[in-house]
Chain A
Amino acid sequence: MSIKSSAITPEKVYKRRRVLMAAGAGVLGVPLINKAYGLFQDKQEVEAPFPQVVSLPGEKNQPLIPTPYETITTYNNYYEFGVGKDDPSKAAKTLTTSPWSVDIGGEGSDKPGRYDIADIKGESAIENHIYRFRCVEAWSMVIPWNGIKLSDVIKFALPNSKAKYVRFTTINDPQQMPNAGWAGGPYVEGLTIEEAMNPLTLLSTGIYDKPLEQQNGAPIRLVVPWKYGFKYAKSIVKIELVEKMPKNTWWLQNKREYGFYANVNPQFSHPRWTQATERVIGELGRKPTLLYNGYAQEVAHLYPDLDNRLYFY
């Protein structure tokens, strides 16, 4: 069988998958396994407080069912607390998240200062958004976030003409974080100002109406649903409006594998992981990955060139 892998489109992958699933899974009784596995997973169907704000193309009739809280809070990448997925939930309790203040500044802000978390939260109403969360490692979850619009916080900082990018810095305290030194400095992420002002972009303070737990980035973390998860800076202590593109941590770690934009795109495979499809945590099987993680309508206008790999790694 010779298939040019360059010719793979998500649609083809999807169709192939269906055929192969039917063949392979039927034999193996995968549906049965899936069902049995579901018994362990006790899915919570939250409806009322979480309007499905964004409906994803191709999934109009298929509501996003949030991943169980237990899974969201025990399957984490937060390297400052260890590199295993189960390390952060075990190790992160040592992080004190109250009191907490965030330095807002940078040359692009006309109103820099240190703000208490309560003041920041007070800047706008807490919103509820159920977003799909897509990790660069080719898995996904569905997370019911509570948070405020990042744009409200940026407006509050009075951006001037120098505010071209936003730079986020995570707390980095070896006293509170056993693996704080892994990146040789604090975790840094960044967005363009247009990305930061997009109404989908949140500063999250909670999940499932509960305050964030440390392993999820308490007390305040970034949420940018059309990008891979490593963009979602956690436990933020500094937000700067800057003129130059920030050097984000994973890009500094490995420039071949991680970029600045990191927009989800099934066509551009990461050197380690094909991005054509994803594993949904808690389910067996794979789902096709959607361009911009399904949020193309809201964000595609931000990127002029769909064929430019720059935007997608």
Chain B
Amino acid sequence: MGLRWLPLATQRHLMNTGLCLLLILGSFEAIMGPDLVSNLRDFTGTYGAYLLVASLLFTPLSHRFKWVKRNLWMRRNIGVWGFIYAAAHLVIWIVLEFYFDWALMLDEIKGNLFILLGIFAFFLLVPMALTSNNRAVKFLSFRKWQLLHCLTYLAIPSVIAHHFMAQKTAESEPLFMGLVLILVFIWRYRHVH
């Protein structure tokens, strides 16, 4: 794109600012509706899922498109922002939906596979988010770091399953995301073999 003349650090800042603004502006729009709690929860959850799926697409697409290959650094920022959106989603659930009422949350989670999948996915994302910086890569060694980040292939399918099951009837959006995910897995499999 037309921003190549900018130093990489500036490009990064621009991207972070953009995704941060999206979170803020989207939240403003969400609270104007009749039910700010479910609007905020669904906005952050949905966009978090978009970002996480997008972060998975970088590797396969970088083999196809030069532009993606040149901008592979974006993968990390997008993934980390996906985590931040998901964290906001979780905080909204705890604070606005349940008002820190842990007993009630326990009652909600009990036997509720879609929430359990969301929590599972979130906890898998935590170590990856914490190690998304150059220092961590050095500290862990690249191989170990890469191994740790293979967890995305467990976390993101869980997110999609969570998204699908959060609906009361089968909906096309999570199904479509699932399809994209399957294509990524097929590419991975073929690429390795």
* Residues of A in contact with B (beta carbons under 8 Å apart): 1, 3, 5, 8, 12-13, 16-17, 20-21, 23-25, 28, 30, 37, 40, 70-71, 74-75, 79, 83, 85-86, 139, 182, 253-254, 269, 271-274, 276-277, 279, 281-282, 284-286
Interface flag for B167 (CB, 8 Å): yes
How many Å lie between the Cα of A2 and that of B18 in the bound state? Answer: 43
25 contacting pairs across A/B (C-beta < 8 A): A3-B103, A5-B106, A5-B110, A23-B100, A24-B99, A25-B99, A28-B95, A75-B35, A83-B168, A83-B169, A85-B34, A86-B33, A254-B168, A269-B108, A271-B111, A271-B112, A272-B112, A274-B104, A279-B97, A281-B35, A282-B35, A284-B96, A285-B99, A286-B101, A286-B104
> A273-B108, A286-B98 given as contacts; is B35 within 8 A of A16 (CB)?
no
- A13 x B104 contact (CB < 8 A): yes
B138 to chain A, nearest CB (A): 39
Residues of chain B with a CB closer than 8 A to A85's CB? 34-35, 38
B164–chain A nearest beta-carbon distance, Å = 13
Residues in A neighbouring B145, C-beta threshold 8 A? none
Q: Is B3 on the interface with A (CB-CB < 8 A)?
A: no
A273 to B26, CA, bound (A): 26
CB nearest to B106 among chain A residues: A5
Residues of A within 8 Å of B169, CB to CB, are 79, 83, 182, 253
Give the interface centre of A23, A28, A274 by most chain B CB atoms within 10 Å.
A274
Docked pose: A258 CA to B111 CA in angstroms = 15
Residue from the set B36, B37, B168 with the largest chain A CB neighbour count within 10 Å: B168
- Interface pair A20/B96, CB less than 8 Å apart: no
Contact of A139 among B35, B104, B107, B167 (CB under 8 A): B35
Minimum CB distance partner of B35 in chain A: A281
Q: Tell me how far the C-beta of B106 lies from the nearest C-beta in chain A, rounded to whole angstroms.
A: 5
Which residues in B have their C-beta under 8 angstroms from that of A1? 102
Q: Is the CB of A281 within 8 A of B34?
A: yes
Chain A interface main SS type: mixed
Q: Shortest Cβ distance from A286 into chain B, in angstroms?
A: 6
Chain B residues with CB below 8 A from A83, complex form: 167-169, 171
Residues on B with C-beta less than 8 A from A74 are 33-34
Instruction: Report the minimal beta-carbon distance from A277 to chain B, rounded to whole angstroms.
Output: 6
A21-B102 Cα distance, complex, nearest whole Å? 12
Known: A70-B34, A272-B114. A20 touches B108 (CB 8 A): no
Partner among A5, A86, A269, A286 whose Cβ is within 8 Å of the Cβ of B99:
A286
Interface string of B129-158 (1 = CB under 8 A from A): 000000000000000000000000000000
Q: Nearest chain B CB to A87's CB is how many angstroms away?
A: 12
Cα-based distance from A125 to B106 in the complex (angstroms): 47
**Closest A residue by C-beta to B36:** A37
In Å, the complex CA distance between A285 and B100 comes to: 10
Complex: how many Å from CA A16 to CA B103?
8
For the complex, what is the distance from the CA of A71 to the CA of B33, rounded to whole Å? 9
Which of B95, B99, B108 is the most central at the interface, judged by chain A CB atoms within 10 Å of its CB?
B99
B32 at interface, CB cutoff 8 A: yes
Contacts of B110 in A (CB 8 A): 5, 269
Contacts of A3 in B (CB 8 A): 102-103, 106
| Chain B stretch 136-193: residues in CB contact (< 8 A) with chain A | 167-169, 171
For the complex, give the distance between the alpha carbons of A1 and B171 in Å.
38
Asked whether A269 lies within 8 Å of B100 as measured between CB atoms, the reply is no
Please, which residues of chain A bring their CB within 8 A of the CB of B168? 83, 253-254
